[in-house]
Amino acid sequence: MRIQLPDKNYDVVVVGGGMVGASFACALRQELNRAADKDRRGYRPNHERKDEKEKDPAEISILVVEAVDLASSSDQTSTAQPSFDARSTALSYGSSQILEAMGLWQQLKDSACPIEEIHVSDRGRIGTTRLHYKDYRVDALGYVVDNKELGVVLNSVMESSSSIHLFCPASISAIKPTAAGMDLIVNSDSLGHSISASLVVLADGGRSPICEQLGLEQRVQDYEQHALIANIGFKKAHRNIAFERFTDTGPLAVLPLKTLGKQNRAALVWTLTAEQSAEYMVMAEEELLEKLQERFGNRLGKLQHIGEKFCYPLRLSVAREQLRPGLVLLGNVAHTLHPVAGQGLNLALRDVAALASTLSEAVADGANLGSMDVLQQYICKQELDQKRTIMFTDTITRLFSSNSRSKILARKFGLIAIDLMPSIKQEFAEQAMGLSTNS
Ligand SMILES: Cc1cc2nc3c(=O)[nH]c(=O)nc-3n(C[C@H](O)[C@H](O)[C@H](O)COP(=O)(O)OP(=O)(O)OC[C@H]3O[C@@H](n4cnc5c(N)ncnc54)[C@H](O)[C@@H]3O)c2cc1C
């Protein structure tokens, strides 16, 4: 629920109510409600509790502090007219399962466009691979959802839950470790409020001074590329196919979107140099469509329209430390990936699910939520998945962004090998579907 003033003490304070912070608050609430429900139904009678420090899971207090005023869910219902220009995200099949376990997928499913096939190719060269959902016994390889729609669903859960306090617009301006966790200053309406937390979950996207204050460093590699993002309209229907195409300027992704009226829509993620992106951002629509058509080809017929354009500089950024006593990093502040393989939010959602279940188990054990023992359990669950996903995305980005002869050959044989060798194809598909995690 929205609050006007925060309490003095919380068990968990989430800094940032973006896609990751909000997902985490909802996932933790869901895990704790499940645990409380089990207790009530007598699966774990009171006399079996380990010691009296143990809290009732339903009493664990959660505060989400978000700097930007989130429009109230009553202002933007999911029946709101979708926009041609809405930005979107490719969720893997694994992420749809995580959202289902959180009780959110039902609300998103109807507006999500299923990805039934992924078509990977190298522009102007032989070597392609195709993944089809029927080969993997899933309903779809993934789904493309409007970011706004996901935001509406997450906000409505936070607003309707009496045990999540949502304080926004407000921002954390100072943070200090203490013996019991962290002390924070929250600013809102030019007032500063002091609060304490056993655990701070930092999901601020990594662009705030908090990391600096805590001396948390990032390992950064600039790809020297920009992503131009826009929705595009084609003559032909996309038939629920996602295209990953590798061009001389870098990878280009075209993701299927739900049809709007009679318009065949797709989401474009186009990797360009800084100079090209600056030029293309201001280019006349017709000229830009020609350039894009030349890069993408005619698979979906003539390109008809390009919507509002957004541009993002691309880099790989990985936090050197994700844990400290009373602190854990989630989402972009923990790892920011190149968007072309569509793995950033998907990895963050797997982290979210693992952290929420670890904390719920810690509550059941009467453990301190901010203790390194508890936080290490979380990172042990996710370490391999994080390394693998970061490496997968980085390798694809580098391999498919170079015009060196060796990389072109590696691409050609890589794509042919993926297509011909079932075990490699299976591994590639599992990573794309978010199912290749910690085994
Ligand atoms: C072009 C592009 C396309 C992408 N496509 C995909 C895709 O298809 N699939 C996929 O899985 N991933 C994709 N990603 C990655 C995905 O968008 C990110 O993983 C995700 O947005 C990270 O969310 P976040 O909540 O960590 O950070 P953010 O979205 O940056 O949210 C951080 C929040 O914290 C708040 N905040 C900041 N500082 C403070 C403070 N001091 N106090 C309070 N609040 C604060 C901010 O207001 C903000 O709301 C894409 C990324 C890009 C750039």
CA 18–ligand 1 middle distance (angstroms): 6
**Can you give the pLDDT at residue 89?**
93
Ligand 1 pocket test target in 272, 308, 345 with most atoms within 8 Å of CB: 345
Which of 91, 118, 204 is the best mutation target for the ligand 1 pocket, counting ligand atoms within 8 Å of the beta carbon and taking the most?
A: 204
Q: How far is the CA of 229 from the centre of ligand 1 (A)?
A: 15
Which alpha helices (DSSP H) does 142-283 contain, by range? Answer: 147-160, 210-214, 274-281
Mutate to test the pocket of ligand 1, among 19, 317, 397 (most ligand atoms within 8 A of CB): 19
Whether residue 410 lies inside any domain: the answer is: yes
Rg (CA), the chain: 23
Residues present in the chain in total:
439
Give the ligand 1 atom nearest the CA of 16: 34
**Given this model, what pLDDT does residue 280 score?**
96
Nearest atom of ligand 1 to the alpha carbon of 310: 1
Domain encompassing residue 329: 9-73+80-219+315-433
DSSP E strands, 330-411: 335-336
Give the pLDDT confidence score for residue 80 in this predicted structure.
43
Q: What's the number of CA atoms in the CB half-sphere (13 Å) around residue 211?
A: 23
User: What backbone torsions phi and psi does residue 419 show, to the nearest 5 degrees?
Assistant: -70, -30
pLDDT for res 79: 41
Which pLDDT value is given to residue 154?
Answer: 95
pLDDT digits 0-9 by tens, 285-332: 999 999 999 989 898 999 999 999 999 999 999 999 999 999 999 999
Q: Is 106 contained in some domain?
A: yes
Q: Buried (b) or exposed (e) across 156-182, using 16+ Cβ within 10 A?
A: bbbeebebbbbbbebbbeebeeeeebb
On whether residue 417 sits in a domain, the answer given is yes
Q: Are 340 and 314 in contact (CB under 8 A)?
A: no
Residues with CB under 6 A from ligand 1: 15-21, 65-68, 89-90, 171-172, 203-205, 208, 210, 227, 229, 269, 312, 331-332, 339, 342-346, 348
**Residue to mutate, 66, 212, 257, 347, ligand 1, most ligand atoms under 8 Å from C-beta:** 66
Flag residues of the chain having pLDDT under 70: 42-54, 71-85, 122-127, 400-425, 428, 436-439
Q: What is the DSSP letter of 204?
A: S
The residue contributing the CA closest to ligand 1 atom 27 is 205
Atom of ligand 1 nearest to the CA of 255: 8
The verdict on residue 439 lying in a domain is: no
User: Is 277 contained in some domain?
Assistant: no
Q: Does the residue 97 lie in any domain? A: yes
Q: How many CB atoms lie within 10 A of CB 344?
A: 20
Is the pTM for the entire model greater than 0.85? yes
Atom of ligand 1 nearest to the CA of 346: 11
**Counted domains in the chain:** 1
134: in domain: yes
Residue 254 falls within a domain, yes or no? no
Provide the b/e sequence for 348-366 (b: ≥16 CB within 10 Å).
bbbbbbbbbbbbbebbbee
Give me the sign of the Cα torsion angle 241, 243, 244, 245. Answer: positive
Closest ligand 1 atom to Cα of 89: 8
Distance (Å, whole) CA 267 – CA 269: 7
CATH number for the domain harbouring residue 131: 3.50.50.60
